Amino acid sequence: MYDLIIIGAGPAGLAASIYASRYKLNHIVIAKEPGGQAVEAHKVENWPGTESVSGLELTQKMRAHAEKLGAKVVMDSVLNIAKGENGFSVTAHTGEHRAKNIILALGMEYKKLAIPGEEEFRGKGVSYCPTCDAAFFGGKAVAVVGGANSAASAAQLLAEYASKVYLIYRGDKLKVDPAYEESLKKKENVEIIYQTNILEIMGEMTVSKVKLDKEYNGSNELDLKGVFVEIGSEPGVELPKQLGVDLDERGFILVNPDQSTNVSGLYAAGDATTGSNKLRQILTAAAEGAVATASVYKKTQIAS
Amino acid sequence: MAMQFTDENFEAEVLKSDKPVLVDFWATWCGPCQMMGPIIEELAEEVKDKFKVGKLDVDENRSTAGEYAVMSIPTLIIFKDGKPVKQFVGVQSKEVLKSELEKI
């Protein structure tokens, strides 16, 4: 039986582990995707002490740091968590692990459009990672769906490769930083289509067109090869719900200032919580991880 | 050690392989692919008696990536008897890949 199991190995989970090693808490980290969403960040320029670093490099360093201090990172998906009398039992593909305390550092999941063709054409024109996939669309027409900074950033990147970028947004005014708005306007191959939704993604082997909910240039179909979905993220609610954790109306885990939840022995840290005024930065995720582990340590000290 | 597949060796090493082959289509610029790399290395070592596991850099081997219409990375494809039989898009855990290989 471990003192602590940390689920998730983004900045919150890895910082929690670093603190756990220093407190000599017997623990493991279980994670499906080491690094979390931060891995896809092109450049991180607000991590104090490092002027500019890729999200990939920063999270790799965090993992190396945690492992150097003795953390065991198990790469596996957690299927189920059950609470018993003496602690928690965590079931993953590789088997069951037991611990007195849990820190959920689950991060966020990309929101999907939930329309026909989206799942079918994933990897065949539908993408959620512009930095990974922009290069496959050289000289082709693509759509970016969304109207906030992540969509603007995707459109900007894709404009370097694609012949045409349609930025399709359901609202009538983009919700982006002024710097993005200005640079998008300068791109001749970016066209913004307002107050419009994609109803269906169509094609044979790969995407060839999308159906819109209103006419654009005289047709409700648009010929293109790629659809980049950038409509934000939401917390994954499956595991917290299994445990009866209180969530807010948008699915974020309600945490106290010590990162505890309504379930005794269960703590949460990072983007999926209501903590840090929901700022959702690498910095705040790491801080919440540290606070959560300190709370676990305090609890074990009182118990012993 | 995971194998390096290329346009040149793809037919011999993948399509004509006696064992099922898992190919990780990746590129240096892609963050999630970098996360996938160590998982592939570990997997290759663990299943080496039964399966072949390797990586193909899509930037340097465009013809093979194009052949299988890879438009998103990481994409992982399991080949058996020269044909793709199962495909995954995005980072996958080692255990999921292992259990899928066992099922083939």
The complex's ipTM? 0.91
What's the mean per-residue pLDDT of chain B?
94
Prediction pTM value: 0.81
Q: Which residues pair with A166 in a beta bridge?
A: A143, A191
For chain A, what's the residue count? 304
Q: Where are the beta strands (DSSP E) in chain A?
A: 2-7, 27-31, 72-75, 78-83, 88-92, 95-104, 108-110, 126-127, 141-145, 164-168, 190-193, 198-203, 207-216, 219-223, 226-229, 233-235, 266-268
The verdict on B76 touching A (C-beta cutoff 8 Å) is no
Which residue ranges of chain A lie beneath pLDDT 50? none
Token pair, residue B58, equals 């899509």
Distance CA(A99)–CA(B56), nearest Å, equals 40
Residues of A annotated as catalytic (active site), given as ranges: 129, 132-133
* Per-residue pLDDT, A173: 94
pLDDT of residue A43: 79
- Give the per-residue pLDDT at A144: 98
Q: Which residues of B touch A137 (CB under 8 A)?
A: 71
C-alpha distances in Å from residue A216, one per residue of A14, A192, A198 = 47, 11, 12
pLDDT at residue A177, as a whole number: 85
* 3-class DSSP state of B23: strand
> Looking at per-residue confidence, does B37 or B24 come out higher?
B24
Q: How far apart are CA A281 and CA A15, in angstroms?
A: 13
Q: Is the dihedral of CA A52, A54, A55, A59 positive or negative?
A: negative
How is residue A247 annotated by DSSP?
B
Dihedral Cα A60, A62, A66, A67, nearest 10 deg: 20
Identify which of B33, B69, B99 has the shortest CB distance to residue A205.
B69
Contact A224, A140 (CB under 8 A): yes
B32: helix, strand or coil = helix
- The span from the CA of A194 to the CA of A216, in Å, is 10
Instruction: Read off the pLDDT of each residue in B39-64 and give the average, rounded to a whole number.
Output: 95
Can you spell out the DSSP letters for A107-145?
-EEE-----TTTTTTBTTTEES-HHHHGGGGTTSEEEEE
What's the pLDDT at A219? 95
Average pLDDT, integer, range B61-89: 96
Contact B92, A92 (CB under 8 A): no
Task: Say yes or no: A208 contacts chain B, CB-CB below 8 A.
Answer: no
Q: Which residues of B touch A135 (CB under 8 A)?
A: 27, 29, 59
Please report the pLDDT score of residue A96 as a whole number.
95
Which pLDDT tens digit goes with each residue over A173-199?
999 988 888 888 899 999 999 999 999
Q: Out of A34, A77, A127, whose CB is closest to B72?
A: A127
For A38-61, letters b (16+ CB in 10 Å) and e give bbbbeebeebeeeeebbbbebbbe
CB contacts of B42 in chain A (<8 Å) are 75
